Amino acid sequence: MSKHFFVGLVLATALSLSLVGCQDTKAREENEQLKAHVLQLQKDAGELGNRIDVLTKENADLKDEIERLKKRHPVKKTPKSKAHRKTPSEAAGSQN
């Protein structure tokens, strides 16, 4: 009986080690994929940060240009003539 027990124990140990090795290989592959994905995300984040810097500078330049143009050509309001409305009594008098 002890001989069968030791054979079973050896087989169980061998099987479990092979399964652990397989899972370990899958975990390593997944880990490598995740590392590559993280590197790509870091690269993308860097590019987006640079793009934000460029757009921020462009925005500041445009604001400066707007202020410069406002100072250069002040907007003059022209007086508008107001339309004169007739009162109801004046309108009734002109119909006759």
Q: Which domain holds residue 49?
A: 2-74
Q: Per the domain annotation, does 9 fall within a domain?
A: yes
70 neighbors 62 (Cβ within 8 angstroms)? no
Of 44-48, 73-77, 91-95, the one with minimum mean pLDDT is 91-95
Res 60: pLDDT: 97
Of residues 53, 51, 54, the one with CA closest to residue 43: 51
Q: What share of the chain is helix, strand, coil (3-state, %, to 5)?
A: 80, 0, 20
Q: Per the domain annotation, does 90 fall within a domain?
A: no
Res 78: pLDDT: 72
| pLDDT classification of 91: cutoffs 50, 70, 90 | low
Q: What is the mean pLDDT of the chain?
A: 81
Q: Per the domain annotation, does 96 fall within a domain?
A: no
Q: Per the domain annotation, does 67 fall within a domain?
A: yes
Phi/psi for 79 (5° steps) reads -70, 130
Contacts 24+ apart (CB under 8 A), 11-16: none
Q: Flag whether the pTM goes above 0.75.
A: no
How many domains does the chain fold into?
1
